[in-house]
């Protein structure tokens, strides 16, 4: 075994595949560029307030270079099914607001130190405004949803919001708990991440009035893509190569967040290794060098690789969910974005 853990992840694809996947996001961005400009306008307009602290704080996160993957999925889904109306613009904005509100509340929650490469809002403005501006974005998201005039859309997105918070609380209750099963972990990431991906895609089908089959297919695509996305996210948090790129790694380790790489390593580990995981992640007694040791154990047990393999499985299901749709550039972009989400190194 040579080099870093990321070497192992990359080795699953080779650099060419990785580059091809990386360009998928550019192609999807190009595809939806026109409508995304409208989404961006709506974001700016709807996060505005005479209370200047609100756009200031919200803009800190919203402008800080997220990929806008979720609203992009709404726009691409609309293109996929040939929807030419305007209702999905507000919904794409609502989806991004829900996501951003969740991130803001996570900042309070996790006391994390890096968020999209910037200092988290709560360290600049304090917990109070961070919670409240998150609430503000949630409320604005609901206003945008109401404007869609579709009770079905409202049911989907209000339901998603409830499931997301339930998933976040469930995640808290599994923190530091090394007996967490893979099944429970899947339940957490489906709720906290995948359901919003699913809703982002599904609502495009609803406003286009295309019926249950299309809506279910879009929902399934989004859900499986979201699960794959989160699996990769959780592997990347132990990716030493990212650290060399100046990215923060080890957040989950420091918080004792029990993700699949650790779940698998704990189960596969020796008694001695289990003592290491118990000390560092259950009791949070961590010393210098523990993160390096953790990464080493994950690599030895191949659990970063296996987490990525699981992501491939869900990625394949996401692609198959699109089988009912005729080929068009949006479909190709949505297929390619699955590979992007799995092979991304950031």
**What is the contact surface with its own copies in residues (CB under 8 A)?**
49, 51-54, 105, 108-110, 127-129, 131-133, 135-136, 138-140, 142-143, 145-146, 149, 151, 154-155, 158-159, 161-162, 164-166, 168-170, 172-173
The residue to which tokens 């109401």 are assigned: 146
Q: At closest approach, how far in Å is the CB of 287 from its own copies?
A: 24
Q: At closest approach, how far in Å is the CB of 326 from its own copies?
A: 33
- Count Cα atoms within 13 angstroms, Cβ side, for 1: 13
Q: At closest approach, how far in Å is the CB of 89 from its own copies?
A: 18
Q: At closest approach, how far in Å is the CB of 3 from its own copies?
A: 36
Q: Decide whether 158 or 243 has the Cβ nearer to its own copies.
A: 158
Tokens of 314: 């869900």
Q: Decide whether 253 or 340 has the Cβ nearer to its own copies.
A: 253
Q: Decide whether 21 or 194 has the Cβ nearer to its own copies.
A: 194
Q: Decide whether 154 or 335 has the Cβ nearer to its own copies.
A: 154
Q: Decide whether 29 or 127 has the Cβ nearer to its own copies.
A: 127
Q: Decide whether 53 or 114 has the Cβ nearer to its own copies.
A: 53
Q: At closest approach, how far in Å is the CB of 61 from its own copies?
A: 15
Q: At closest approach, how far in Å is the CB of 112 from its own copies?
A: 11
Q: At closest approach, how far in Å is the CB of 221 from its own copies?
A: 23
Q: Decide whether 142 or 276 has the Cβ nearer to its own copies.
A: 142
């Amino acid at each position: 075994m040579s080099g870093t853990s990321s070497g192992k992840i990359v080795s699953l694809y080779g650099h060419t595949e990785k580059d091809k996947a990386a360009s998928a996001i550019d192609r999807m961005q190009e595809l939806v560029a026109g409508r995304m400009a409208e989404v961006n306008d709506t974001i700016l307009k709807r996060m505005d307030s005479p209370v200047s602290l609100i756009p200031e704080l919200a803009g800190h996160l919203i402008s800080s270079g997220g990929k806008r993957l979720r609203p992009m999925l709404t726009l691409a889904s609309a293109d996929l099914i040939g929807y030419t109306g305007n209702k999905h613009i507000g919904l794409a904005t609502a989806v991004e607001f829900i996501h951003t509100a969740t991130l803001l509340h996570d900042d309070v929650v996790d006391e994390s130190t890096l968020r999209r490469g910037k200092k988290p809002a709560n360290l600049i403005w304090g917990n109070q405004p961070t919670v409240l501006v998150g609430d503000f974005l949630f409320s604005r998201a609901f206003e945008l949803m109401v404007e869609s005039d579709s009770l079905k859309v409202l049911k989907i997105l209000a339901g998603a919001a409830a499931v997301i918070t339930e998933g976040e609380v469930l995640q808290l209750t599994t923190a530091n708990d090394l007996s967490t099963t893979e099944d429970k972990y899947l339940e957490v990431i489906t709720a906290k991440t995948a359901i919003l991906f699913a809703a982002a895609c599904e609502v495009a089908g609803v406003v286009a009035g295309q019926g249950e089959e299309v809506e279910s297919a879009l929902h399934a695509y989004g859900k499986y893509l979201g699960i794959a996305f989160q699996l990769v996210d959780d592997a990347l948090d132990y990716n030493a190569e990212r650290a060399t790129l100046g990215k923060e790694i080890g957040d989950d380790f420091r918080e004792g967040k029990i993700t699949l790489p650790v779940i698998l390593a704990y189960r596969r580990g020796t008694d001695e290794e289990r003592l290491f995981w118990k000390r560092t992640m259950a009791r949070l007694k961590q010393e210098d060098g523990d993160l390096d040791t953790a990464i080493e154990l994950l690599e030895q047990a191949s659990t970063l690789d296996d987490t990525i393999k699981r992501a491939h499985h869900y990625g394949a299901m996401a692609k198959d969910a699109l089988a009912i749709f005729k080929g068009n550039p949006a479909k190709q972009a949505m297929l390619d974005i699955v590979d992007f989400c799995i092979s991304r190194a950031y």
